[in-house]
Structure 1
Amino acid sequence: MGIKTQRITRKTHRYLGLFIGIQFLFWTIGGLYFSWNNMDDVHGETLLDKTEHNFHFSYDQRTTDLLAHLEEWDSQPILSVEGVVVNQDSLLRITRANDVKFVNLTDKKIQEALTKDESVALVKSRLYEDLDIANVNYLTEKEITKGHEYRGGALPAYAITLKHPTNTTVYVHPITAKITKVRNDNWRRFDFLWMLHVMDFETRDHITNWTLRIFSILGLLTILSGLYLFYISSPTIRKFKTRLKK
């Protein structure tokens, strides 16, 4: 093996190791955080119950008339009717071919979506402990960027931030009366490290990006060059090769 080849290999391995080593560190830190974390806490499930609280209901004549009038009004067939618990109020969620509407069982009024107060009440009814609300924001497409923590969520949405050390924000889609996402500081750290892990610095979800592919190839070259250096510099291997020649 030529001295020149060994020098080139050593130099290549050294600079590859320096360049890729920082990303190796990010991958390692991220892997440790992911594997040692409580995913229930990341998903906000230790603070609130995200599952729907539906109920069985009995039709009375007025409710039946309202549903019939709703179907007759624009000729859209009703696909399903579900009872949704929103704190003290009970709503019927009526899913039709092109939209969702609600019937308030208290006053029998038809509404297009949950109000701000109803969205807050929905969240508070799902909390395991009584918490105050820090602020409420109404989000549309204008407020959502590629790196926003609610990216990919159904819009519009109410962002309801709780007064809690975890800085938890609960997102409610008022058109379907569903909690769509829960974000807290643990999730935000997880998301940042995941961004570094997959090397997608915009959407943070695209794992097949070219930056990750290139760094993965460079990482493989670093490992292979290290194995090659071990092969050409190991006294054990040299002794073994000498014995084979004999």
Structure 2
Amino acid sequence: MKVLRLSTQLHKWIALAVGIQVLFWVAGGLVMTAIPIETVRSEHHVREQVPAPLAFDDVVAPGVIARAQNLDVARAELKSTPRGTAWVLTPVEGEPVTVSATTGQAFPALDTATATQMAADAYRGDGTPVSASLLAVAPEETKREGPIWRVDFNDTERTTFYLSPQTGEVVTRRSDVWRFYDFFWRLHILDLEKGEDFNHPLLIGLTFLTFTIVITGFILLWIRVGRDIAVWRARRRDRTR
């Protein structure tokens, strides 16, 4: 009986303590399974782009650009962008540098009209751009750093395209669907600040307590089923006498 009483008390009070978080876990799991990840990422709003051919004849060698900018380059990537062919030079130390592959210089600053048009060209759907702004610091939801262009659309999901200020590429997409999903994701992993840490003590502690509820629940089930079987056998013996 002591084991039953102890298991009952542990099960009751621990369940009360972690019950709300278990509700969040279940709700988060429902949201994450009910909403396709492609919708969360706004992939249905991405217009299929035909890759532009790289203009190799006009490309400035990366070594020439590196010497002109006094960079010790560890990696050079040549790619096609909405603003033309670009070199992305990754130095041994520091952040990557993006320049025009035909001039060896940084691309001219984007203006609002050009950024809006580039976002519209990359978008597929019923919405149209309603605002465009150059942000000095990328919002936390982009998971990026530095300046970034934000272009908002007036579709049902309030889709937002974030563009590179250098190349005009859409570097990430967000919407109210993503923000709704992200809210439950953060509740699910108990990292309300960044939504990235799976290993912080709060999550580990609550997971352990939830595991304790399961163990005590099995103990209670075992004891009570055993007791019910004993009562059933006793009644059966009484009938056969």
TM-score greater than 0.5 by the shorter chain: yes
Which residue of 2 is the match for residue 184 of structure 1?
A: 175
Report if aligned partners of 1:113, 1:174 keep a CA contact under 8 Å in 2. no
Report if aligned partners of 1:131, 1:164 keep a CA contact under 8 Å in 2. yes
Among candidates 80, 83, 98, match of residue 80 of structure 2: 83
**For residues 71 and 225 of structure 1, do their structure 2 counterparts lie closer, same or farther at Cα, with a shift above 3 Å needed?**
closer
Q: Which amino acid aligns with 1:203?
A: K
Among candidates 21, 24, 29, match of residue 22 of structure 2: 24
Among candidates 11, 34, 37, match of residue 36 of structure 1: 34
CA distance in 2, matches of 1:156, 1:240: 74
Which residue of 2 is the match for residue 210 of structure 1?
A: 201
Q: How does 1:159-178 map to 2 (within 5 A)?
A: 159-178=150-169
Among candidates 213, 220, 224, match of residue 229 of structure 1: 220
1:115 matched to 2:110? The reply is yes
1:92 matched to 2:89? The reply is no
Determine helix, strand or coil for the equivalent of 1:231: helix
Determine helix, strand or coil for the equivalent of 2:88: strand
Among candidates 112, 123, 128, match of residue 127 of structure 1: 123
Q: Deviations over 1:110-165 (max 9, x none)?
A: 54355033332221111124632222232234x64xxx322x22422111111111
CA distance in 2, matches of 1:35, 1:155: 33
Task: Return the TM-score normalized by structure 1.
Answer: 0.76
CA distance in 2, matches of 1:186, 1:213: 28
Q: Structure 1 residue 5: deviation in Å?
A: 3.7
Q: Which amino acid aligns with 1:140?
A: A
Report if aligned partners of 1:113, 1:177 keep a CA contact under 8 Å in 2. no
**For residues 224 and 160 of structure 1, do their structure 2 counterparts lie closer, same or farther at Cα, with a shift above 3 Å needed?**
same
**For residues 48 and 4 of structure 1, do their structure 2 counterparts lie closer, same or farther at Cα, with a shift above 3 Å needed?**
same
Q: Deviations over 1:60-112 (max 9, x none)?
A: 6xx46899986774466894543323xxxx522133455211268xxx89543
CA distance in 1, matches of 2:62, 2:26: 57
Identity percentage over the alignment?
A: 19
1:54 matched to 2:51? The reply is yes
CA distance in 2, matches of 1:156, 1:23: 37
**For residues 33 and 66 of structure 1, do their structure 2 counterparts lie closer, same or farther at Cα, with a shift above 3 Å needed?**
closer
Q: Structure 1 residue 214: deviation in Å?
A: 0.6
CA distance in 2, matches of 1:29, 1:164: 26
Determine helix, strand or coil for the equivalent of 1:137: strand
The 10-residue stretch of structure 1 (94-103 or 156-165) with the greater mean CA deviation from structure 2 = 94-103
What are structure 2's unaligned runs of at least 5 residues?
Answer: 92-96, 235-241
Q: Deviations over 1:210-235 (max 9, x none)?
A: 11101101001111111111122223
Q: Which amino acid aligns with 1:123?
A: A
Tell me the matched-pair count. Answer: 225
CA distance in 2, matches of 1:65, 1:203: 40
CA RMSD of aligned residues (A): 3.3
Determine helix, strand or coil for the equivalent of 2:122: coil
Q: How does 1:147-166 map to 2 (within 5 A)?
A: 148-150=140-142, 152-166=143-157
Report if aligned partners of 1:13, 1:226 keep a CA contact under 8 Å in 2. yes
Task: Return the TM-score normalized by structure 2.
Answer: 0.77
Q: Which amino acid aligns with 1:19?
A: A
Q: Which amino acid aligns with 1:92?
A: T
Report if aligned partners of 1:138, 1:159 keep a CA contact under 8 Å in 2. yes
